[in-house]
Amino acid sequence: MQVSTPSESRPFSPWRTLFLATIVGTLAGCAMHAAQPPRDAEHYRVVGYDTVRTDIDSKDAGKIDTLIFAFAKLVNGEVVLEPDDAQRLHRLITLKAANPQLKVVVSVGGWGAGGFSEAASTTESRQRFASSAAQLLAANNADGLDVDWEYPGHGESGIKSSPQDRANFTLLLRALRATLDQVGNAHAHRGVDHYSLSIAAADGVFVNGIDIAAIEPSLDWFNLMTYDFVNSMTPTTGHHSGLNTSTLAPADARSTERAVQQFLAAGVRPHKLLIGAAFYGREFADVQPAHDGLYQAYGHYQGEHPWPQLKADFINRNGYVRYWDTVAQAPYLWNAATHRFISYDDPQSIAAKADYVKSHHLGGIMYWEQGEDPQGELLDAVWQSLH
């Protein structure tokens, strides 16, 4: 068992040669864009979801490779933006003028967003989904699509699911890849600037409704949601975004490292995996006091706290003492007087995740979400750690 200690803070003939070169070039041209490795093996992506609650400073935008707008909606099988959402997306698109390296991607879905199982169920409905998504990107000068179906084959969030979701999700992503390429070619989004296609993916049992190996060729990258490992639906506290598995954790505990290994074992190439960082903490109340509340039963889930609130009201404040789990490489807070526990990410745990990304040649770090770090402190930790 690790020791918990309080602390202050804390990616031949010429004709035959010509013939072979032609064949090779043709085959290469037919290969999916998503199968291409990064242009620079030393570059690690910084990808952030953004609900556009606050504006982004230009200096912070310069540290981001891709902003993912959350969320477009699925209505009657089509990907749409309501008027208010379109205005919010436009605020992100305007950042590209001063930051030409920035890509803005539209995510559709999110926790509790239904309609995916139905939209993926037939050839016609899949094409309706794909065509509407591609036209939305073209109409809004966006750079790609992120599919956040939580989760194929699962109905925990109250959405419809089906045993056929696993096969249909593969077919949906193939239809999206083909349609995005077709529409992209007509709008100067081709080659290295093609419309990207990614998914938000959980781990463990939450991906048993996905054929990971089958969808990998269609995708540019996977946004691994390596956070929310513990939440209001889990029986104990714990590291909700831990890198490794704590020695106090149960045998089936989820962690970032286990998620990565699950996807690698399924055949995903390392550069397509972006691990997640949480710009918020999760608090539990009436927690059993053993091990300073770590992996203990609790009375009720207290809620989430964005990074500025964690700094102002919780980290080594008001009775909350910061501890560092040297095995999990994750911080947590314990209030011995009130028996409250908070799990979160901070610059130290983000640096550990960045080291893991580099040592395993992964694609980079993704985070949720931009509005919970308005001063860019955690974003700066991501960028500096990866560079």
The string of pLDDT tens digits covering residues 248-271 is 999 999 999 999 999 999 999 999
Going by C-alpha positions, the residue among 248, 215, 176 that lies closest to residue 4 is 248
Name the band, by pLDDT with cuts 50, 70 and 90, for residue 41.
low
Residue 240 lies in a domain: yes
Residue 249 lies in a domain: yes
Catalytic (active-site) positions: 150
Residue 195 lies in a domain: yes
The residue whose two tokens read 């309080």 is: 6
At residue 58, the pLDDT reads 85
Residue 321 lies in a domain: no
CATH number (domain holding residue 359)? 3.20.20.80
pTM: 0.90
Domains: count for the chain: 1
Residue 135 lies in a domain: yes
Residue 363 lies in a domain: yes
The pLDDT > 90 percentage for the chain reads: 88
The string of pLDDT tens digits covering residues 212-247 is 999 999 999 999 999 999 999 999 999 999 999 999
Residue 301 lies in a domain: no
Give dist(CA 311, CA 325) in Å, integer.
19
Q: Which domain holds residue 234?
A: 39-278+345-386
228-265 burial, b if ≥16 CB within 10 A, otherwise e? bbbeeebebbbbbbbbbbbebbeeebbbbbbbbebbee
Residue 226 lies in a domain: yes
Yes or no: say if 8 and 316 are a contact pair by the CB < 8 Å rule: yes
The string of pLDDT tens digits covering residues 286-310 is 999 999 999 999 999 999 999 999 9
Report the pLDDT averaged over residues 50-71: 95
For residue 75, the tally of other CB atoms under 10 A from its CB is 12
Judged by DSSP in three states, 325 sits in: strand
